[in-house]
Amino acid sequence: MADLIAQLDEGNPRALPRLLSLVERRDPAGMAALAALYPRTGKAAVVGITGAPGAGKSTLVNALAHAARAAEMRVAILAIDPSSPVSGGAVLGDRIRMMDLHADPGVFIRSVASKGRTGGLAPAAAAMVHCLDAAGYPLILLETVGAGQDSIDIDVLARTVIVVQAPGFGDGVQAIKAGILEIGDILVVNKADLPGARELARTLRGSLDHPEPGEWEVPVLLTDAASGEGVPAVLDAVLQHGRWLAQSGEIAQRLRVAASAEVLDGVRNELQRRLNAATAGSLDQVISDVAARRTPPEDAVNAILASLPGLGGAASDQRGG
């Protein structure tokens, strides 16, 4: 573990992928390294990019990475979207630009399976973001699928959320109704080269509340992510939002919300794991007894809870990893 951290600090290119793999599968060595690294995290600009499939999120992430490199910022990309990996669905030009990124030591690209959850974040995503942060990437881009309500998690993990829209995906009213715009710190209307983009941007601007003094004013920006046009302005808005978070003190609130979600998710996952372990093989019978009126539901609940290690259950408390 100390070795891994030393390698990370020396900039050994193999250290970060290794750490991420260990952390993704919650390997004890990886978790120990992350625990040691955790105090130095919390500084990176963690940017979530969400929006309907096909809106151009992957293309925008690529273009943002290029804009960051042009500004001499190192950048890490975490794609939380197995159906559309960061290089997937791209036309030839996109693929060539991705190859530039892969060859650039200032860019780190990784994807993480969302483990069957539709949209939402992989359980390991938060831990992996901490690793990228600890490795010193000042900018971390998270691409996630955003199908309505499922994408809401991204606003917990990210410090800045970009909601990507494109013409031809409804008139913007759908997004307004789905509430997805509410999580956006920056709204991007991509495919500005297509008809309807300007109109969509106008509709979105019209739907936004006027900010109170000192509040963040959500910009609506037009991009052609495929050509890169308008993308440096998105990067500027990201950096400006980061400065606003710091100046307004809002950053403390966001870090708190993220910490709360991560801790409570962790507790829930661990309880679920213990529940599965404790009831393996016996749950079917317990449910049958309740269904057949042999056991009252309340008694079954209490019996299961009493059998959970560490919850006042039997002395067979086993620490799981």
Residue ranges in contact with Mg ion by CB under 5 A: 57-58, 84
Interaction partner, residue 91 (Mg ion, ligand GDP, none; CB < 5-8 Å by kind): ligand GDP
Give the residue with the Cβ less far from ligand GDP, 160 or 190.
Answer: 190
Instruction: Point out which span in 187-195, 205-213, 214-222, 260-268 binds ligand GDP (CB under 6 A).
Output: 187-195
By CB under 6 A, tell whether 151 contacts ligand GDP: no
By CB under 6 A, tell whether 136 contacts ligand GDP: no
Interaction partner, residue 194 (Mg ion, ligand GDP, none; CB < 5-8 Å by kind): ligand GDP
167, 191 in Cβ contact below 8 A? yes
Give the residue with the Cβ less far from Mg ion, 82 or 170.
Answer: 82
User: Measuring CA to CA, which residue among 113, 43, 106 is closest to residue 78?
Assistant: 113
How far apart, in whole angstroms, are the C-alpha atoms of residue 272 and residue 264?
A: 12
Q: Give the distance, in angstroms, between the CA of residue 102 and the centroid of all CA atoms in the same chain.
A: 21
Give the residue with the Cβ less far from ligand GDP, 219 or 230.
Answer: 230
Sheet holding 107-111, edge to edge: 107-111, 75-80, 139-144, 45-51, 160-165, 186-189, 220-222
Give the residue with the Cβ less far from ligand GDP, 78 or 258.
Answer: 78
Interaction partner, residue 191 (ligand GDP, Mg ion, none; CB < 5-8 Å by kind): ligand GDP
Beta carbon of residue 144, minimum distance to ligand GDP (angstroms, whole number) = 10
By CB under 6 A, tell whether 42 contacts ligand GDP: no
Give the residue with the Cβ less far from ligand GDP, 58 or 203.
Answer: 58
For the stretch 34-69, what's the b/e string if a residue is b when 16 or more beta carbons lie within 10 angstroms of its beta carbon?
beebeeebeebbbbbbbbbeebbbbbbbbbbbbbbb
Beta carbon of residue 115, minimum distance to ligand GDP (angstroms, whole number) = 19
Which residues, numbered 46-65, are part of the site for ligand GDP (CB under 6 A)?
51, 53-59
Instruction: Calculate the alpha carbon distances from 286 to 112, 189, 282 in Å.
Output: 36, 53, 6
Amino acid at 269: N
How far apart, in whole angstroms, are the C-alpha atoms of residue 81 and residue 145?
A: 6
Strand partners, 50: 163
Beta carbon of residue 90, minimum distance to ligand GDP (angstroms, whole number) = 6
Q: For binding to ligand GDP (CB under 6 A), which residues are involved? A: 51, 53-59, 84, 89-91, 94, 190-191, 193-194, 224-226
